[in-house]
Structure 1
Amino acid sequence: MTTPPSPPGAESTDGSAVRIGALVPLTRPGWTEAGRHLLAGLELAVREVNDAGGIAGRPLELVVRDTAADPQRAAAAVEELADLGVAALAGEYHSVVARAAAGRAEALGVPFLCSSAVLDALTEQPTSGVSPARAKPGTRGWVARLPPPQSRGWQVYADFLLDAGHSRIAVAAQPSVYWASGTRILRDHLAPRGGTVVELDMSALTPTAVCDELVGHRATALLLLVGHPEPAVPIVKAVRSDQRTAEILIGAPAGQPEFTEWAALLGDDGAAVPFLRYLPERLTPLGVRVETALREQLPEAPSFVAFEGYDTIAVLADVLRSHGADRARIAESWPRVAVEGTRGRIQFSGTPGISVWQWARPPIQVVDRDPAEPDRFRILRAD
């Protein structure tokens, strides 16, 4: 594998800033609240690193680019940031966008720590040239990831559905690699256990027509594999207001109900919609302190995405202190990471079927908003 040289100044000792490029969805059609929380976590961690003396006396600088949930825009941002001499890339919430960024980062030889995207196939090929599951220590891999792969999280969600008595599942899905992958994971996991999954094509159906399909298929649960707020919010309103479907469980494994916009747009209709989030039952002592700081920074309670952002910088800062700002050395360092994050100890390993270095056991919860108190989350399952 040919290693591109680090950019001039990457190992500078003149006190100039060590730059990290941040990819964040801050405008529509991106999930902007997720982007805002991700950025809040990234920025808080950078401030704390600099307050503690920076990276060997050099300040850490975040260079932010808005992806707007656009894969092409993200790929262009990676090229720009690479030219600016960033030591590494961080961030991104949307899986399809993160995949585009990861591919470009790999091609350019820029380390990328993905904060919040779960698509299993984050890169087309193993980023080290061999599967991380088979890689030897010191093998270079340009991409690592904090959140669990989609296959693990969505299997946990499928088990929750079965345990709750739901085996006839409908998915309202839009065309997307991410949604198609989620549908396949659910179907493959549920079928051997007697479950069925019927797909409702939201490029052809109105929210009212979704209700008709649910009745026709005798579904007991509807999963929203669609964008937010459109068309997720109109679908929820239609299903909740139709007497034939009012008792059907609505689920959103991708996490739309995590954010306050969901509750603001749907009110009581947005409660009791189970979704996945990546928090432990108890934050680490660091996590408790970070939560307090994030509450002062954000206008609402911090989501799990804000903690992912903070942990991303915590990992990169540790790597930079230990291995310097040379891109190749950063890419070789992932399997040696051992960092206490806000949600547990972070270490990367090779996972069968996953092409990037992966935090092997990030926490997973299935939660919903309590109908009696929609600002409170109920933990329904933990893994």
Structure 2
Amino acid sequence: MDTPLDTPPSPPGADQADGPSVRIGVLVPLTRPGWAAAGRHLLAGFELAVRDVNDLGGITGRPLELVVRDTAADPRRAAEAMDELARLGVAAVAGEYHSVVARAAATRADALGLPFLCSSAVLDALTEQPTEWVARLAPAQSHSWRIYADFLLGAGHSRIAVAADPSVYWAAGTRILRDCLAPRGGTVIELDMRALSPTAVCDELVGDGATALLLLAGHPEPAVSIVKSVRRDERLAEIMIGAPAGQPEFAEWATLLGDDGAAIPFLRYLPERLSPLGARVEAALRERLGEAPSFVAFEGYDTVTVLADVLRSHGTDRARTAGSWSRVAVEGTRGRIRFSRRPGISVWQWAWTPVHVADRDPAEPGRFRVLHAGEENADG
């Protein structure tokens, strides 16, 4: 699946029409400190879609091939990988799960003139200035976290504590929540996880009077230890734990926490009911992964589906690919995908993938419950 580092480089923007395959670069976190489970699901979606594309004849008769690079959640490593992939002559780059890493990749893609379709990262400001080279499938953080804020208020939570690691992504999430909650009488209390142990978090919660604690912190740690401490503290029996970033989506969460991992609402980027295409892909992903596929695996599949359609229609020239985002109209596993310009978003954006708030059912932690749904796709 990978390409050797000594592959002769191709000029930036070169059309690879005489090559044996059409290559797409892929950025995924496959090793720590990256969230390797998310990376594995994202890559499984990519690989399944490539198989399906090639079974249908590839890109005008040429096989589609992935050139995979592990980011390990390191922005500098992602930027270096973008440089390498550009030299290797890939037609486009796809992927990345971590927002701060995707931001580094998007910034480098813009500088290199290399089309980048971001699969999973949600940070609004992927680039400082508007760019034609980058498009995104995942919803912007300001959109999805606003839906989560609506859910909190609807469930009666107006005094919210956030256990937050230092990060541009977590800070942006806290700001979105505060901006949404404050006009409606809500309060956001920040607990700095650089200074507090999980036990100290419990003490702070008792003193602050918050009715909900949101995990804006790394997985598995300190998020798992915070959940265990709160669940075992009798003083906090009534507090709701939430995880808007989606930690409970993955089987690893249930394995580490068991029953303690249930009833923790999170954002999930899937429709309530899958289409026939989505159901077929879900079954194939389940077989490939050996477990239920997360929404991240669907994001991977849809990414390659979009890029394959663009490459078939417009060829492998990079400038033509970047110029075609506005003309995309592709049936994905979670709805019809189109890209548009959205206020405050610097890249071409699918507005919007289905979003709902879900949790693991306490009676059956392997099953998900939909607790709150966002609005329908605006551009589909």
Partner residue of 1:256? 247
Deviation at 1:281, TM superposition (A): 1.1
Match of 1:289 among 269, 277, 280: 280
Name the SS of the counterpart of 1:105 in structure 2.
helix
Partner residue of 1:87? 91
Partner residue of 1:18? 22
Distance verdict in 2 for CA 1:334–1:55, change over 3 Å: same
Q: Are 1:15 and 1:57, in contact at CA under 8 Å, matched by a contact in 2?
A: no
Where do 1:1-383 residues align within 5 Å? 7=11, 10-127=14-131, 141-383=132-374
Q: Are 1:41 and 1:306, in contact at CA under 8 Å, matched by a contact in 2?
A: yes
Q: Cα deviation per residue 1:276-325 (whole Å; 9 max; x = unaligned)? A: 01000111221111111111101210000000000000000000000000
Distance verdict in 2 for CA 1:9–1:162, change over 3 Å: closer
Name the SS of the counterpart of 1:244 in structure 2.
helix
Deviation at 1:8, TM superposition (A): 7.1
Distance verdict in 2 for CA 1:312–1:236, change over 3 Å: same
C-alpha separation in 1, matches of 2:352 and 2:18: 39
CA RMSD of the aligned region, Å? 1.0
Q: Cα deviation per residue 1:243-294 (whole Å; 9 max; x = unaligned)? A: 1112210000000000111111111110000000100011122111111111
C-alpha separation in 2, matches of 1:110 and 1:102: 9
Amino acid at match of 2:294: S
Amino acid at match of 1:111: P
Q: Are 1:37 and 1:305, in contact at CA under 8 Å, matched by a contact in 2?
A: yes
Amino acid at match of 1:142: W
C-alpha separation in 1, matches of 2:353 and 2:75: 26
Name the SS of the counterpart of 1:73 in structure 2.
helix
Partner residue of 1:134? none
Q: Percent identity?
A: 81
Deviation at 1:225, TM superposition (A): 0.2
Deviation at 1:366, TM superposition (A): 0.3
- Runs (5+) with no aligned partner, structure 2: 1-9, 375-380
Name the SS of the counterpart of 1:107 in structure 2.
helix
Deviation at 1:361, TM superposition (A): 1.6
Q: Cα deviation per residue 1:43-63 (whole Å; 9 max; x = unaligned)? A: 000111111111111111100
Amino acid at match of 1:205: L
Deviation at 1:16, TM superposition (A): 1.5
**Aligned positions, number:** 365
Deviation at 1:9, TM superposition (A): 8.9
C-alpha separation in 2, matches of 1:278 and 1:380: 13
Q: Cα deviation per residue 1:23-54 (whole Å; 9 max; x = unaligned)? A: 00001111111100000000000111111111
Q: Are 1:286 and 1:342, in contact at CA under 8 Å, matched by a contact in 2?
A: yes
TM-score by length of 2: 0.95
- Runs (5+) with no aligned partner, structure 1: 1-5, 128-140
C-alpha separation in 1, matches of 2:20 and 2:47: 19
Q: Are 1:18 and 1:55, in contact at CA under 8 Å, matched by a contact in 2?
A: yes
Partner residue of 1:136? none
Q: Which of 8-17 and 276-285 deviates more?
A: 8-17
Q: Are 1:10 and 1:18, in contact at CA under 8 Å, matched by a contact in 2?
A: no
TM-score by length of 1: 0.94
C-alpha separation in 2, matches of 1:292 and 1:363: 20
